[in-house]
Chain A
Amino acid sequence: MADPTQKSSLAAWVWVLVACVAVFELVAHSVIRARVPSDRSWRDATTFVRERFEPTDRVVAAPHWVDPIVRSYLGDLFSLSSASVGDLAGVDRVWEVAIRGVTSRSEPPALEEPFGRVRVRMWSVVTDEVLFDFVEEIDRAEVDLLTEGSAQRCPWMHAKVQGGGLGHGPLPPPDRFVCDPARPWLWVGGTVMADLDLEPRRCVWQHPAGPEPVRAAFRDVPLGDKLVVQGGLDYNNERTAGNIAVRLRVFIDDRLAGEMRHQARDGWSRLEIDTSRLNGTAHQVRIETTAAKPHARTFCWSASTRGTRGER
């Protein structure tokens, strides 16, 4: 026979358990809502950053999903490049506007200031010096499309931009090199593309036309210790499109200096070319893209020449 005392204690326990769950849920709901940063916290924190911001600074948001909020306050301090994901080359200080105890860096900050539930942190960073950013200088390039061995110049022109939408790929800039109006994807210019991880990449769209190259040549490029090239396909094609590789080749004064072979699913890839023997001199740099078949090879690259900076 069951012990009535035992049954009674069990009953009390279930009752209390259910009541506790309900109370926990109500309290947790209220706490979560109460912890949402106020508009004033955001305003004060971002004003603090704005007052101290220098052109070589970078602002980041933590966690990443508050990035639109941070940009709504400080977006005018961002360029297309600094809003995109990339390494910190050329940056002196990183400002982080963060909530929920999240931070984007592991080392202790040089400065930390709370504003309600928003926290501002700042780090001084030692990074490479950017001597030449090919993406920002793309309008200085000479772009050619090779057809049966002969080079056809792609004119820099102001062209109509249309579209936008899911699956449409990166939007072209209004000013770009147009290689073939009959093939509207065959343009070269700076854009922002979603990579395999759906992150923004500031890059030069240079869709290969086939086995013969599309090439962008830059004169008098100051070289440093290294030339860093990164590239990838638009996320739609990076995820799904076939196994035909895009070949990106970098020439310095017509000599092959480096090569990247990029296949779908490789993700945003990096190529580092040692240019230390040419440090301090200026040369022509040419970047060529090819693919056995051009279909869906929505390739975009970024590149910069870099020098080493001393400790600060």
Chain B
Amino acid sequence: MTVRKLTWSEQLVGAALCVGYVMALVWTAPDLAMSRDESFYAHAAKDYGGWVAELTTSPSSALGREHIDRAWDYNWEHPPWMKLTFAWSWLLHQKLGLFSSESLAFRFPGMLTAGLLLWLIYSWGAVTMGRRGALFAALAFAMLPRVFYHSHLAAFDVPIAFFITFTAYAYWRTLSDGRWALLTGFAFGLALATKHNSWILPGIFLIHYLWVRRQYALADRLDRPTISWLPSMLVIGPVMLVATWPWVWHHTWSRLLAYAQFHLRHVHYTYEYLGVSYFEPPFPISVPFVMTLFTVPLTILVMALIGLVHRRAALVPPWKTRRGDATDTNADVLWLGCLAAPLLAIALPWSPIFGGTKHWITAYPFLALFAGWGFVAVIDLATGALLAERRGAAWALTALCLAPGLVETVHSHPFGLSHYTPLAGGVPGAADLGMNRQFWGFTTGSLADWLTKTLPDGGTVWTCDTTWGAWRMMQADRRLPSNIRPVRSMVDADLVLVHHEPHFNEVDFQAWMAFDDVKPVHVLTYDGVPIMSVYQNSR
């Protein structure tokens, strides 16, 4: 089976989706303070940027082991690719002043991958299910509240979703056109160099390949798909990982091993789920599924479910194939694998505690693609029934199906990680159920104006989960005046911030003791649910 080429008009739609989404992200980014992890990556990007600058001016010294280690030792636990792009973006911003703020310079490459991911979802959808379904899939993905939040960040979660989807697409194309094999290896290299979620890709592809290969064999087809993607991935992928990561140019094996071990023995993030704060595994198996149910708009989930049912014929096991059956490279099985694997990996009882939806966000492009199929199925079924020959009604249905996602995504900003869909009872319902309310300390950004008004002559703030790097970035972005300084000791602060998560209760009680007062001077709420409390030093 050959895959048709995208038309120019289709490419134009994909590009418009990409540009439109990136513009929306740039426009809304100032509302979001840097998150905890972003502040680490921005720090790393500055170090790496310095090394890149040195490489251009003094390559021989830059390549010396001491210089490499000095620049690349920070945040060695994550591979370099996105941090390098953050560094390039920041260096360009330093020279050309491209962006309205320093944080945007770091964040822009991540936003770009979010835009490119929409383009990719649309493209893959267009060649498999047609334009209507493709457009629905891309828009559905864009309108997932948690995806919208993570798409803003100078982090790796949306970028790895892009690189994994891109690698899957290139692999799938390779099955019918061996010329894509090289690109598959290249894409996998970038995925490896972005985040460790990519490690599971060869396994998913191998299962899919064997599935398709078996179908071809039983159907007695001679034009069987090539396996050239596998050597390409296994050779080019690791070479690209090492080539883009100077930190592993010395002590290569021991450092790669340390990197792998860091993630295989990852620390556990304390996470509240259904009223229990989990400090250590096992985490309930249901977490990724219930969190998906509670954070992905219901209409999109229903569409994805309809899509899966609609495509059930493509998902039958290969041994049911009969001689002469029509077979193809079966994108549906691949999508199902890419959708299920990240959820199952987190659900395993021995997996470290990763509660945030970001850890299985790579599943969501494929969820959106099935939602696209669901949309195609609904429209096709409806045509011939009530919507027959009523083009306007079909468009109205499209708009209606996308509206919940749009409304919820708009409402989720700038509290993306606190947002829950109506299925959970919204934000207050999730609080009743005892679901995680936030992490990373980024909600401090929503207090910037209040802090500025409250401390007109400057002062000191104990910043709780907000890192000092994130704080300084708010100052560099001119969201906070430079005379409002973070301090290490609560009792020395004019104001103490508390991010509400149960395992931060300890900090709340420390604030009571620090000022001998349990009355917050301000409580930041989202849909009536406390997100942050602020205590004032009246001593």
Is A2 part of the binding interface, using a Cβ–Cβ cutoff of 8 Å?
Answer: no
Q: Does A69 contact B (CB under 8 A)?
A: yes
Q: When the two chains form their complex, are residues B303 and A76 in contact, meaning their CB atoms are under 8 A apart?
A: no
List, in ascending order, chain A residues with CB within 8 A of B427's CB: 32
Q: Contact at A170–B509, with CB atoms within 8 Å?
A: yes
Interchain CB contact under 8 A, B489 and A100: no
- Asked if A32 and B428 sit within 8 Å, CB to CB, the answer is yes
B507 touches A165 (CB 8 A): yes
A12 to chain B: which residues have CB within 8 Å?
382, 385-386
User: Provided the pairs A32-B527, A165-B507 are in contact, do residues A21 and B299 lie with their beta carbons within 8 angstroms?
Assistant: yes
Of chain A, the residue at the smallest CB distance from B527 is A36
Interface of B is mostly: helix
| Given A161-B514, A166-B503, also A19-B432 (CB < 8 A) | no
Minimal Cβ-Cβ distance residue in B for A25? B404
Alpha-carbon distance between A76 and B302 when the two chains are bound, in angstroms: 49
Instruction: Give chain B residues whose Cβ lies under 8 Å from the Cβ of A161.
Output: 489, 491, 513-514
Rounded to whole angstroms, the CA-CA distance of A18 and B386 in the bound complex is 13
Tell me, rounded to whole Å, the shortest Cβ–Cβ distance linking A34 to chain B.
Answer: 10
B510 touches A170 (CB 8 A): yes
Q: In this assembly, does A162 line the interface, its C-beta being within 8 Å of a C-beta of chain B?
A: yes
Q: How long is the Cα–Cα vector from A15 to B400 in the complex, in angstroms?
A: 11
Out of B298, B299, B302, B387, which one reaches A15, CB within 8 Å?
B387
- Determine how close the nearest CB of chain B comes to the CB of A191; give it in whole angstroms: 6
Binds B, one of A50-58, A140-148, A192-200: A192-200
Q: A164 to chain B: which residues have CB within 8 Å?
A: 462, 489-491, 496, 507, 510-511, 514
Flag if A18 contacts B401 (CB, 8 Å): yes
Docked complex Cα distance between A74 and B303 (Å): 47
Which of A60-68, A222-230, A262-270 interfaces with chain B?
A60-68
- Let me know if A194 and B506 touch, CB within 8 A: yes
List residues of B (501-539) whose CB comes within 8 Å of A's CBs. 502-514, 516-523, 525, 527-530, 533
Is the pair B386, A15 in contact by a Cβ cutoff of 8 Å? Answer: yes
Task: Report whether B306 and A18 are in contact in the complex, using a CB–CB cutoff of 8 Å.
Answer: yes
Which of chain B's residues have a CB closer than 8 A to the CB of A7?
384
Q: Is the CB of B509 within 8 A of A26?
A: no
Whether the pair A15, B520 counts as a contact (CB closer than 8 A) is: no
Contact A72 B533 (CB under 8 A): yes
Option from B385, B465, B489, B519 in Cβ contact (under 8 Å) with A75: B519
Task: Say whether, besides A29-B422, A191-B513, A22 and B401 are in contact (CB < 8 Å).
Answer: yes
Interface presence of B341 (CB below 8 A): no
Interface string of A65-104 (1 = CB under 8 A from B): 1101101101110111001000000000000000110100
CB under 8 Å from chain B, chain A span 275-298: none
Residues of A within 8 A of B527 (CB): 32-33, 36
Closest to B431 in A: A65
Flag if A22 contacts B404 (CB, 8 Å): yes
Q: How far is the CB of A236 from chain B (nearest CB, A)?
A: 8
Beta-carbon contact of B384 and A72 below 8 Å: no
What count of chain B residues pass the 8 Å CB interface test?
69
Interface membership of chain B positions 413-450, coded 1 if the CB is closer than 8 angstroms to chain A and 0 otherwise: 00000000110011111011000000000000000000
For the complex, give the distance between the alpha carbons of A193 and B508 in Å.
10
Proximity string of chain B (234-257) to chain A, C-beta cutoff 8 Å, 1 when within and 0 when not: 000000000000000000000000
A32 near B522 with CB under 8 A, answer: no
B530 contacts A25, C-beta separation under 8 Å: no
B528 touches A37 (CB 8 A): yes
Tell me the chain B residues, 39-81 only, with Cβ under 8 Å from chain A. none
Report B416 CB to chain A, min CB distance, Å: 16
A194-219 near B? 1/0 per residue, CB < 8 Å: 10001110000000000000000000
Q: Render A152-164 as a binary contact track against B, CB cut-off 8 A, 1 for contact.
A: 0000000001111
Given contacts A75-B519, A164-B510, contact A32 B378 (CB under 8 A): no
B101 at the interface (CB under 8 A from A): no
What A residues does B511 contact at CB under 8 A? 164
B277 lies within 8 A of chain A by Cβ:
yes
Nearest neighbor of B521 in chain A, beta-carbon distance: A72
> Using Cβ atoms and an 8 Å threshold, which residues of chain A touch B204?
none
A8 within 8 A of B: yes
The smallest C-beta distance from B216 to any residue of chain A, in angstroms, reads: 30
If the complex has contacts A66-B530, A68-B500, are A171 and B400 also in contact, measured as CB distance less than 8 A? no
Instruction: State how many angstroms separate the Cβ of A170 from the closest Cβ of chain B.
Output: 7
Say yes or no for B411: interface residue by CB 8 A criterion: yes
The tally of residues in A whose CB lies under 8 Å from a CB in B reads 66
A235 interfacial contact with B, CB 8 Å: yes
Does A168 sit within 8 A of B, measured CB to CB?
A: yes
Cβ A72 vs Cβ B520 within 8 A: yes
**Contact in complex: B512, A68 (CB < 8 Å):** no
CA distance A236 to B507 in the complex (A): 13
A173 at the interface (CB under 8 A from B): yes
Contact assessment for A71 and B513 in the assembled complex, using a CB-CB cutoff below 8 Å: no
Task: Tell me, yes or no, whether B279 is within 8 Å of chain A by CB.
Answer: yes
Most buried by A among B299, B387, B510, B527: B510
Given A25-B422, A166-B504: A15 and B397 interface contact (C-beta under 8 Å) = yes
Contact A78 B384 (CB under 8 A): no
Taking the closest CB of chain A, its distance from the CB of B374, in whole angstroms, is 8
The docked-state distance in angstroms from the alpha carbon of A93 to that of B522 is 27
CA distance A18 to B371 in the complex (A): 12
B354-387 interface code vs A (CB 8 A; 1 in, 0 out): 0000000000000000000000011001101111
A198-B525 Cα distance, complex, nearest whole Å = 21
The reply on B287 being an interface residue by CB < 8 A is no
**In the bound complex, what is the Cα–Cα distance between A144 and B497 (angstroms)?**
37
Contact between chains at B506 and A71 (CB < 8 Å): no
Question: Is B407 among interface residues, defined by CB-CB distance under 8 A?
Answer: yes
Nearest Cβ on chain A to B321's Cβ, whole angstroms:
24
| Chain B residue with Cβ nearest A14 | B381
Q: How far is the CB of B190 from chain A (nearest CB, A)?
A: 35
Indicate whether A258 reaches chain B with its CB closer than 8 angstroms: no
Interfacial chain B residues near A24, Cβ < 8 Å: 298, 422
- Does B10 lie at the interface of the complex (its beta carbon under 8 Å from any beta carbon of A)? no
- Asked if B408 CB lies within 8 Å of chain A CBs, one says yes
Of A8, A194, A236, chain B has the most CB atoms within 10 Å of the CB of A194
Q: Assuming A18-B302, A161-B514, A164-B489, what are 4 further A-B pairs, CB within 8 angstroms?
A: A71-B519, A162-B492, A163-B489, A166-B504
B interface residue numbers (CB < 8 A to A): 277, 279, 297-299, 302-303, 306, 377-378, 381-382, 384-387, 397, 400-401, 403-404, 407-408, 411, 421-422, 425-429, 431-432, 462, 465, 488-492, 496, 500, 502-514, 516-523, 525, 527-530, 533
Chain A to chain B contacts (Cβ below 8 Å), 19 pairs: A12-B386, A14-B382, A15-B387, A25-B299, A32-B429, A36-B527, A72-B523, A75-B517, A75-B520, A161-B489, A162-B489, A162-B491, A164-B462, A165-B510, A166-B504, A171-B490, A171-B514, A191-B513, A198-B503
- The 9 lowest CB-CB distance pairs between A and B, nearest first, are A75-B519, A164-B490, A28-B422, A32-B426, A11-B381, A36-B528, A11-B385, A25-B404, A171-B513
